[in-house]
Structure 1
């Protein structure tokens, strides 16, 4: 993992913090700093990386791939899903070397779909690489993988997605932007309070996570028939509420812990 300077980190975080409508509550950070919560934090982070890859995969299968290519795409994720949801397979055998745009007929794609393909394949590869890196850290810490329940965060955002196209796609892309931006903000918040190795890992993620949120917004802007700012603002307020409201389940994207209220 490559290190980045404090100047670069600040530069990467500036647009993220400007985009988000609130900062992570101190109460959540206090809970995250507790040693007894580290396994849950890492496990949920691991699952979030897979879900980010799945979300990007859904976009490719729904809007870019034909039926044959869609089946190939499902095969990309299967080993990760088998391990995470069905507890099958050896985590050390997981890798992303087989991910490639070569399965797509790019000649038949319009400029928007080509751009989505480029951005989403890169995102999937990076998220699955991060998935593996979290597993390595958990292994070094002696944490056996045990699944945890999801937080209300992602579903709380997606509940506001419109049901007709292209507005449905626009909203999903904006949701993706907020999820990536919040992840980026929380990595930076956590970095000073964890071990040196984990801190370096979180800081190393800032480059890709900051770019991911911008990629999602660029795609939303490109496909929307109208200005997206009102939808961006709407989801920003929804996201703020999810982050600031009392939450009885501690997870990577959870709200303010109930016991602190």
Structure 2
């Protein structure tokens, strides 16, 4: 009899633990990323230095189209925004490890990105372009002319994908800002960066007056990335639609001279 009672108690306990485990798993699976961000009171935005999307002004504040819109989005959620520099090649690990909540940095919506993240609707048109010294530009106007060059590209970027696609020789670097510096200083012959950054960062009146852009290698679109399954993506799409309709997105884009590439929401 004692053995039967013990067995019954063990079975009851086992079923109870199983039910509890199932309930916990269900809670974990159904957890809201929006609620998580609002509970902790911060939206941590993963970025790299990327003018005109995310860069620091003279006072050390993060500004740019993406930085400004991220600040407004955080405000709409009732939380504080925090910007965190990341290694671009580790962006998915940063998201999944919850060291950041979102990747918002002129991110190209490649198939790999869309598979690894929950992405917003596209909000900017862009392209990957070749950067060379201005006095050498006439020599490099076709893809065939690029074969002899040594490139600098951001590790894990759409620019690196294009270098691979065209079988170009390259060295991966931390970010696109570094890639520009490499070309300007002569340690690389050329770079592949985003068109929007090329417009803001090269030519007369910019930080790199000795550089220009030539060949366009690929047309693409920007999106914002969250953890896979995150409900924040749908929330951001609603925010984008609202801010496009009331003119805020265009106003911010005009501020940085890139409104012609804004995608209707």
Shared topology, TM-score over 0.5? Answer: no
Higher relative strand content: 2
Structure with greater helix percent: 1
Q: TM-score, normalised by structure 2?
A: 0.24
Higher RCO, Cα 8 Å, sep 6+ = 1
Taking structure 1 as the reference length, the TM-score comes to: 0.24
